Chain A
Amino acid sequence: MSVDTATVKKIASLARIAITEEDATRLAPELGNILGWIEQLGEVDTQGIEPMTAVIANQLRLRDDVVNDGGIRDLLMQNAPQAEHGFFTVPKVIE
């Protein structure tokens, strides 16, 4: 499996990771190698096999639809890189 630098850049953009031209050149053969090795899964006959959804059978639980948390705004914001007036702040978004 070969991965070209254009593909690496596209994936990186989807993953929201900035990469340089050198990064893309380095990563292309690395990812190609790993994906090439992974492709051996294609040889397994999985006709009629359901994909795994839970390793241990477990029932999804429901809880009462009541507020059981909250009122801790300042606590939750204390790790924010930038917060003002009880809001997380980000660069201006203009679309």
Chain B
Amino acid sequence: MTDLTTLGIAAIRDGVRDGQFKAREVVEAFNAKVAGARALNAFLVETPDHALAAADAADAARAAGETLKPLAGVPIGMKDLFATKGVATTAASRILEGFVPPYESTVSQNLWNAGAGMLGKLNLDQFAMGSSNETSAFGNVISPWRRPNDTAALAPGGSSGGSSTAVSAGLAPGATGTDTGGSIRQPAAFTGISGIKPTYGRCSRWGTIAFASSLDQAGPMARDVRDCAIMLEAMAGFDAKDATSLKLDVPNWEAALSADLKGKRIGVPKEYRVDGMPAEIEALWQQGIDWLGDAGAEIVEVSLPHTKYALPAYYIIAPAEASSNLARYDGVRYGLRDLPEGAGLQDMYAATRAAGFGDEVKRRILIGTYVLSAGFYDAYYTQAQKVRTLIARDFERAFEQCDVLLTPTAPSAAFALGEKQADPLAMYLNDVFTVPASLAGLPAMSVPGGLDKDGLPLGLQIIGKPLDEQGVLNAGLAIEHRAGFTARPQAWW
């Protein structure tokens, strides 16, 4: 019998529907994988019973001859940024240690409504702030990938590093991620899996712990493009509880998947050829261009002149919104309270926040507070929002000449844990290719393209027009077909 944990979402769905195996068998196999991979520290909470309950419901529905739900019995991992009713939710921060939400986030509820079950809550960078998963208060996530003859622990990317590790190590066929400046795409690239951030507003933010509200978007991370399409269909949809939710029907992305790109134009933005780009990344990008040409697309060079200002604009806007969003953690209504002897209310706030937030979270709150403070607001925040308008306009103009854009996902393969921790700026630069699409709210995806000289995965990014997830997925599929990426990490854990 095949190892059921080698199956992706589509294969599990189809196999359960066709009676090749029971959903319970699938879930039991994944639960065992999760329990056997604690060395990776991908899960903060394991919820084997949640996944089993969904599996039993799927098996019972099939036995009763009912039509199965789209994700019937499929077990997934849930990034611990989504509030899950009755299951501890911390955003990997001490300040929420012990918090058990009395409600369910819309995205997770949508997945349960579609028949999926939860294997557990996945580790992440604290409040989704980081690119390596080293800012979690509950320990680093270790990538399942290693360099040859080297046991150095590598970064799984961030902030959705528990999600990328769980999927690439075969602990889950799919996982939720959230992406504020690249937190789905960069970890997907680092671990050789696929992940898509949809257009801003496709997935409800209700019940997702807020980092930067004008940027945060949920999306799926899975083994291939089809699985991403299936999972995104279940996650997306209008929600009256989120004021920025788009009142649009969810397209049937899976059914419309096509790797034939005849008549499509692929834009290659020249400004993404940054100084010091490793030759391997440059070569992979060229390979990706050739693959899309082979799929029938026309390649055009385009210009996004404000690209170099995207990252500094992001590091004003995201911390500004974070400093406001994270003001709610005050030790009064939920989470940690630190009340020093004889302290008043203000001292309690300050002590609680000092004890509860990690260094990177504090750094961003301080930056955000600074750029929003009296006398600096216009020079920093207003200027950044104007630059953001220019960046969005760059994309609009580029899309007059092309249908989707192709770029590398990250400027390097996975780095070692600890390698970039000393310099926050060096870490921020990891998001150089992913941040611009976030600022413009565009759908963007990373798919595996190949391996570097050390055998580590490299990703290619596709950026689409607003609401054109289909175009993004189809270009991703065309790359997937040609890249033939089958590398998996050797289990050492």
A17 touches B350 (CB 8 A): yes
The answer to whether B200 has its CB under 8 Å from any CB of chain A is yes
B354 touches A41 (CB 8 A): no
A residues in contact with B387, CB < 8 Å: 41, 44, 46
Q: Which of A5-43 contact B (CB under 8 A)?
A: 7-8, 11-19, 27, 30-31, 33-35, 37-42
Q: Are B363 and A30 in contact (CB under 8 A)?
A: yes
Which chain A positions have C-beta within 8 A of B370? 7, 11, 31, 35
Q: Is B399 engaged at the interface, CB distance under 8 Å to the other chain?
A: no
Hey, what's the 0/1 contact readout for B337-377 against A, CB within 8 Å counting as 1? 10100011111111101100100001101110111010000
Chain B residue at minimum C-beta to C-beta distance from A76: B102
Q: B60-68, B145-153, B258-266, B308-316: which one contacts chain A?
A: B308-316
A88 to B367, CA, bound (A): 30
- Among candidates A15, A49, A58, residue contacting B386 with C-beta atoms closer than 8 Å: A49
Within 8 Å CB of B224, what residues of A?
Answer: none
Taking the nearest CB of chain B, how far is it from the CB of A78, in angstroms? Answer: 6
Selected from B335, B344, B346, B351, the residue in CB contact (under 8 A) with A79 is: B335
Interface string of A42-63 (1 = CB under 8 A from B): 1010100111111110101101
A38 to B344, CA, bound (A): 36
- The number of chain A residues touching the other chain, given as a range, is 35 or more
The prevalent SS among residues of B at the interface is helix
**From B333, B349, B389, contact of A16 by CB (8 A):** B349
Could you tell me if B309 and A80 are in contact, using CB atoms closer than 8 angstroms? Answer: no
* Contact indicator B337/A58 (Cβ below 8 Å): no
CB distance from A66 to the nearest CB of B (A): 13
Given contacts A14-B373, A49-B386, A81-B335, contact A31 B367 (CB under 8 A): yes
B343, A33: Cβ atoms under 8 Å?
no
Check A81 against B315 for contact (C-beta < 8 Å): no
Q: Using A31-B367, A50-B389, A81-B332 as known contacts, say yes or no to A91 and B383 having CB atoms under 8 A apart.
A: no
Q: How far is the CA of A81 from the CA of B351 in the complex (A)?
A: 14
Which B residues are CB-close (under 8 A) to A56? 199-201, 246, 441, 466-467
Kindly provide the distance from the CB of B443 to the nearest chain A CB, expressed in whole angstroms.
10
The docked-state distance in angstroms from the alpha carbon of A92 to that of B335 is 20
- Pick from B247, B332, B344: contact of A80, CB below 8 A: B332
Asked if A67 is an interface residue, CB under 8 A from chain B, the answer is no
- Bound CA–CA A19/B366 (angstroms): 11
A contact residues around B357 at 8 Å (CB): 17
Q: Are B335 and A17 in contact (CB under 8 A)?
A: no
Q: Judge if B485 is at the interface, Cβ distance under 8 Å.
A: no
* A91-B343 Cα distance, complex, nearest whole Å: 7
Tell me which of A14, A34, A50, A93 has the highest count of chain B C-beta atoms within 10 A of its own C-beta.
Answer: A34
B384 at the interface (CB under 8 A from A): yes
Shortest distance between the CB of A75 and any CB in chain B (Å): 4
A90–B332 CB distance below 8 A: yes
Q: A17-B353, A18-B350 are in contact. Are A44 and B383 (CB under 8 A)?
A: yes
Cα–Cα distance between A40 and B362 once the two chains are bound (Å): 23
B380 within 8 A of A: yes
Apart from A46-B390, A91-B343, what 9 extra A-B contacts exist at CB < 8 Å?
A: A15-B323, A15-B365, A27-B363, A37-B425, A38-B371, A41-B384, A49-B386, A55-B392, A81-B332
Between A and B, 25 residue pairs with Cβ closer than 8 Å are: A11-B366, A18-B350, A19-B354, A27-B366, A31-B363, A31-B370, A33-B424, A33-B425, A34-B424, A37-B315, A38-B316, A41-B312, A44-B383, A44-B390, A46-B386, A49-B389, A51-B386, A52-B388, A56-B246, A56-B441, A78-B102, A79-B101, A88-B332, A92-B344, A93-B345
Contact residues of B with A, CB < 8 Å?
98-102, 199-201, 214, 240, 243-244, 246-247, 306, 309, 312-313, 315-316, 323, 327, 330-337, 339, 343-351, 353-354, 357, 362-363, 365-367, 369-371, 373, 379-380, 382-390, 392, 424-425, 428, 439-441, 466-467
- List 5 A-B pairs, minimum CB-CB distance, nearest first: A55-B441, A51-B385, A81-B337, A79-B334, A46-B386
